[in-house]
């Protein structure tokens, strides 16, 4: 949703960038007003974008969320989806192994 770009961009604004300083309130208000008319998948994405800016999220958790979200859509690329799943699980396996080594 292009409206979620404004809150994201405003988080990175510099002092004096008036438009970006006003963007969070404006875009949040309008996105919240439209959430009830969105499908469930889109509604969840917008709510996440309003709660925590993308640049402050844990990338691997975000990747997992997108894998789950797009698993339920018809318009996904099978190859890309499978690659994302494999990548996520490979990195997860590495982290689990590292944790076992550190705690063992």
27 by Cβ neighbours in 10 Å (0-12 / 13-18 / 19+) ranks as buried
Q: What is the pTM of this model?
A: 0.52
Instruction: Report the alpha-carbon distance of residue 71 to residue 85 in Å, rounded.
Output: 10
Instruction: Report the alpha-carbon distance of residue 88 to residue 78 in Å, rounded.
Output: 15
Write down the mean pLDDT value for the chain. Answer: 80
Residue 59 is predicted with a pLDDT of 82
- pLDDT tens profile 25-63: 787 888 888 889 988 878 888 888 888 777 778 888 888
Instruction: Work out the average pLDDT over 82-99.
Output: 93
Instruction: Report the alpha-carbon distance of residue 52 to residue 54 in Å, rounded.
Output: 6
83 compared with 75, residue with greater pLDDT? 83
């Amino acid at each position: 949703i292009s409206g979620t770009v404004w809150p994201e961009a405003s988080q990175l604004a510099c002092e004096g960038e008036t438009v970006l300083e006003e963007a969070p309130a404006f875009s949040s208000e309008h996105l919240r007003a439209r959430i009830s008319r969105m499908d469930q998948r889109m509604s969840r994405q917008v709510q996440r974008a309003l709660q925590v800016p993308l640049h402050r999220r844990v990338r691997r958790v975000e990747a997992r969320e997108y894998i789950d979200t797009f698993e339920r859509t018809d318009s996904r690329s099978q190859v890309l989806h499978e690659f994302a799943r494999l990548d996520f699980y490979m990195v997860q396996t590495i982290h689990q192994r590292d944790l076992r080594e550190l705690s063992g």
